[in-house]
Structure 1
Amino acid sequence: MSNYKYPNKLSFFNFLLRSTSIAKNPIPFHRKWFDEKGDSFAIKSPFYGHIILTRDIDFTKHILQKKHKKYHKSKIQTHYLSKYVGYGLLTSSGDYWLEQRRLIQPAFHKEKIQNLVDIIHKAIKDQVSQIKTDGFVDLYPIMNELAFEVVAKSLFNFSAQKEILSRLQFIIEKLQLFIVKELRMPYKKLWYTLNGDIKYHMKLVKESRAIISTIITQRKVSKAKHDDLLDMLLHAQYEDGTTMADTQIIDEILILFVAGHETTANALTFTFKLLAQEKEALIKVKEEVAKLDKQQIDPLQEITQLEYTKCCVEESLRLYPPAWITDRVNIEDDEFKAYALKKGTIIGSSIYELHRNEKYWKNPEAFVPERFSEENRKKCLPYFMPFGAGPRLCIGNNFAMYEMVLTVSEVLKCFNIETDEAQIKVNPLITLKPVGVKLRFTHNA
């Protein structure tokens, strides 16, 4: 294929002029260029070659589902991310990824997650009981702590000390911030090497792996049985009957921490902020939660019956998807509609913009949980991708939904919530982070 054809081009010079602002927050620029150039546009970068950004549903499904074998995760994830968080499900590609996915998938089947619900619920209750009711408080740290505890308890149940887990939490957050700096400003790589930044963060990587290695060793020595994810990872067998090496287990655990706690903390922060702003929706959720609370049913039954609560969580995920952008690179030349794409083209699909594209959503900027009600959801689901799509759909999607619905229920059983600011600010790092969200919690009368 010699005559390559790309979507409307944006000059790299135009991009470079704004690079500092884009590094801080690319979303306003994406919106501007989508509006000017159409639902897909291209840039030719001296660092990464051809890059396409899209908010088109067909193009997104083409790379994630229909032609997924031609499209691997880009070096951004398989190389840059993996050196910090290991070569696990999120960062691996090809045959190795498929083998790992088949091995780990059973642990995340609905039935298995249902076994974890009691552990998840207890961790949520413990965290919610610590929420303070003195004025407006920063919401994200509370949700971050809660989500980290849920992942930690689900992974390790009772086999890790609080101080050790806090250290792990600190390291993971530090690494994520630095990964974003390195990705957004590749031209500063030499400076990061000279000023010791890379050396410092690689030291943190070593420490995080040592922490998890110690937990694995202690579990193996103790022979204790815990119905948690670590037990599953230790005992999962490949087709030939062998199990994962410790280094592989460490990779997968780091990925589960990185992918599993921060995305949920972000999503919960956005959900509570939106509910505090949208009083009608908040009243409906509180009524649904109170009604079920009187019935004293177990957490698993509660999840299935909190229908409107789930709609609110899904609508929050539509407006503020934590995995706000996903990328792929074609491993051979490809064609899509009028485009002819050279091998090695990076395609970034903006889930954030796709979820707000007027072609697919009526009144896309508004918070309307009813979109996801039983009678409406069929119209929405083809354009709803908060957990990705295709074979690489997020393995923890059921886990995350259970955790979020139970958290919203538990918080609103205990508290009323208020906000004093209409605006919602975001910081698009590897995940879409909320900025400066403050809520006031007051005990229910």
Structure 2
Amino acid sequence: MSTTAQLRPFHDIPGPKGHALAGLLPDFNADPLGFLTRGFQEHGDLVAYRFGPRKGPLGKTILAVYHPDLVHQLLMDTERTFGRDTDGFRATHELVGRGLMTTEGPYWRRRRHILQPLFTPKRVARYTELMAGEAERIIAEHEQFEGTEIDLHQAMMRYSLRVVGRALFGGDLDDAEAELHTLIPDANRGIMARTTQIPKLPLKFPSPTNRMFVRTRDALYDLIERVIERSGSGDTASSEDNIVSRLREARDPESDEPLTEQEVRNEALLLFMAGHETTAMGLTFGLHQIGRHGDVQKGIAAEIDAHHAAGGTGAEYAQNRDTLGRAALNEGLRLFPSVHMTERVANEDLELNGYHVPKGTSVFLVPWVTHRHPEFWPDPERFDPDRFVGKQADRPRYAYFPFGGGPRVCIGEHFALLASSILMEALLRKYEITSHDEQISMKVLNSIRPDRDVRTTFTRR
């Protein structure tokens, strides 16, 4: 890199000032998406945010990068340069334990070696029949509600719960649905609270935030252990090619030792939470947009009809990445990425956009904002699937990164997109979708999700 003397100093990086004592934390907590968007609009592609007091050890300056080239640098540089030992990842580690998402270095590489083969496109395609069956099941359950309002989000949560549950554990999680729909938002709320806690208090300190966090963690562990135990008990279709069974068969690439039951639990919990959320949120926001744009919906339905008229199957349509339907799902993820923000930390002094950045500095990557960068997304708030069709899709690699990128790209990307495509195809082959709300009212925690019913009607075509 350039020498420090040739770089502009860290304290010259532009950014909002904030309050003398609390810094920018109150503004961030009140409206994280609006706060980060305004920072980009007012200060550009690299912004410095001061959290906590301006003076003293409790204050902390966090950078945010918004330009695709800077995102590329953070995601593609080596672990030696950027790591994940940040407040957010430490909080996630405290909640779900040591696993693929919460570690780095040799341990992470060994876990990736074990898990990656379970999520290749070829391997994921084995779950096509499972996904198609759950898509037909969710449609059959809603046939009685044809022509009346339903909550789209609830239906998508149920579908993703069943798909991810069967793929992971080989059986239904319907009996745990109510419990999970409380625990997962509580888990996201707890991670956000621990991430933004100033000062950081040990979990054993009985603050209200810490007590809620520990209660949620213990309840998640209890639930996932019950589900895993049941998955191997013969009470479910344990003979299916489920991921927990594969984890139990796996061996550490260096020691040739199997995973412990605690390690299986940690990986299963991480995969379940990430897979369930990503699939459900992508479908909810994507189908809501399709239900608001009749011309797009008609185009996808016509494409599906033509595919079937030519002798194609629903599974073949869903696996095709070059359809208008897949483009619409991608555009939904552009506007509403489930993970709206992630974080890295500088492991050494380095350069970002011509500025010196000292070791230990945390850096936000914000898909929510980068996906709206007007240099790469004209009229960025408009829903336009054509952005992902043909030459329109030519843009920098990290102008779009709903599943992250680089060596740590989300291993569940193929699974989530296939499950979403299969349900969308099954729905639009039979129904016209009407979304009754112009926008989805959202709450922003560790991910984004609706905070009220997503009012939708399915009408037989």
Normalised by the length of structure 1, the TM-score is 0.91
1:72-112 Cα offsets, whole Å, 9 max, x none, are 11332332111112222222122211111111100001111
Is residue 81 of structure 1 aligned with residue 96 of structure 2? no
CA distance in 2: counterparts of 1:291 and 1:435, whole angstroms? 37
Give the alignment partner of residue 283 of structure 2, picking from 268, 271, 275.
Answer: 268
1:353 to partner: Cα distance: 0.7
* Equivalent position SS for 1:130: helix
How far the C-alpha of 1:190 sits from its partner, in A, is 9.2
- Displacement of 1:168: 4.0
Are the equivalent residues in 2 in contact too, given 1:50–1:344 (CA < 8 A)? no
Equivalent in 52, 69, 73 of residue 80 of structure 2: 69
1:310-369 deviations in whole A, cap 9, x for unaligned?
A: 000011111111111111001111123411111110000111111111122222221111
Is this contact kept in 2: 1:78–1:87, CA < 8 A? Answer: no
Kept in 1: contact 2:67–2:399 (CA 8 A): no
Work out the CA distance in 1 between the residues paired with 2:36 and 2:90.
25
Rounded to whole Å, the distance in 1 between the matches of 2:360 and 2:259 is 32
CA contact (8 A) 2:403 2:409 kept: yes
Mapped partners of 1:434, 1:419: distance in 2: 14
Offset from partner CA, 1:184-233 (integer Å, 9 cap, x none): 45459699955655334423322322333344445556595321111211
Does 1:5 pair with 2:6?
no
> How big is the shift at 1:44?
3.7
Alignment CA distance shift 1:433-1:217 (3 Å): closer
SS in 1 for 2:373: coil
Greater shift after overlay, 64-73 or 315-324? 64-73
Alpha-carbon spacing, 1:34–1:15, altered in 2? closer, same or farther (3 Å): farther
Alignment map for 1:316-355 (pairs within 5 Å)? 316-355=332-371
1:171 counterpart residue number: 183
Structure 1 12/353 Cα, relative in aligned 2: closer, same or farther at 3 Å? Answer: same
Q: Check 1:142–1:254 CA distance in 2 against 1; reply closer, same or farther (3 A cut).
A: same
Residue 52 in 1 paired to residue 63 in 2? yes
Change (3 A) 1:111 1:427: same
Q: One-letter code of the match for 2:146?
A: T
SS at match of 1:178: helix
Distance 1:230 1:151 in 2: 11
Question: SS in structure 2 opposite 1:324?
Answer: coil
- Judge conservation of contact 1:140–1:269 (CA < 8 Å) in 2: yes
The CA distance in 2 between the partners of 1:52 and 1:416, in whole Å, is 44
Q: What is the count of residue pairs matched by the alignment?
A: 444
Q: State the distance in 2 between where 1:319 and 1:381 align.
A: 17
Alignment-mate amino acid for residue 324 of structure 2: Y
Question: What secondary structure is seen at the aligned counterpart in 1 of 2:102?
Answer: coil
The equivalent residue for 2:29 is: 23
**Distance change (3 Å), C-alpha of 1:397 and 1:252:** same
Match for residue 363 of structure 1 among 375, 379, 382: 379
**Secondary structure in 1 aligned to 2:436?**
coil
Report the AA paired with residue 216 of structure 2: L
Q: Measured at CA, do residues 292 and 2 of structure 1 come closer, stay the same or move farther in structure 2, by a change above 3 Å? A: closer
Query: Residue 16 and residue 192 in structure 1: after superposition, are their counterparts in 2 closer, same or farther (change >3 A)?
Result: farther
The structural deviation recorded for 1:295 is 5.5
Q: CA 1:64 to 1:299, structure 2 compared with 1: closer, same or farther past 3 Å? A: same
Whole-angstrom CA distance in 2 between matches of 1:89 and 1:180: 20
Deviations 1:272-327 (A, max 9, x none): 11111111101111222233345664443122347110000011111111111111
TM-score (norm 2): 0.88
- Does the CA-based 8 Å contact 1:311-1:369 persist in structure 2? yes
Unaligned runs of 5+ in 1: none
Provide the rounded CA distance (Å) in 1 between the counterparts of 2:315 and 2:263. Answer: 32
SS at match of 1:441: strand
Q: 2:319 is matched by which residue type in structure 1? A: T
Contact 1:5–1:338 under 8 Å retained in 2: no
Amino acid at match of 2:259: M
1:310 and 1:161 mapped to 2: Cα distance?
28
* Distance change >3 Å, CA 77–CA 101, structure 1 → 2: farther
Q: Please state if 1:210 is matched with 2:226.
A: no
Give the Cα–Cα distance (whole angstroms) in 2 for the partners of residues 161 and 360 of structure 1.
Answer: 41
Deviation of 1:169 after TM superposition, in Å, equals 4.5
Residue identity in the other structure for 2:134: A
Code of the aligned partner of 1:171? L
Tell me the distance in 1 between the aligned counterparts of 2:292 and 2:366: 26
Q: CA–CA distance in 2 between the matches of 1:75 and 1:85? A: 15
Identity rate, percent: 21
**Pair 1:135-2:151 in alignment:** no
Match of 2:433 in 1: 417
Aligned to 1:232: 246
Looking at structure 1, the residues matched to 431 and 180 of structure 2 have their Cα atoms a distance apart, in angstroms, of: 30
Once the two structures are TM-superposed, the CA of residue 377 in structure 1 deviates from its matched residue by: 2.0
Distance in structure 1 (CA, Å) of the matches to 2:221 and 2:118: 22
Aligned amino acid, residue 152 of structure 1: G
Residue of structure 2 aligned with 1:151, choices 164, 171, 179? 164
**What letter is aligned with 1:30?**
L
Structure 2: gaps (5+ residues): 53-57
Q: Any conservation in 1 of the 2:15–2:49 contact (CA below 8 Å)?
A: yes
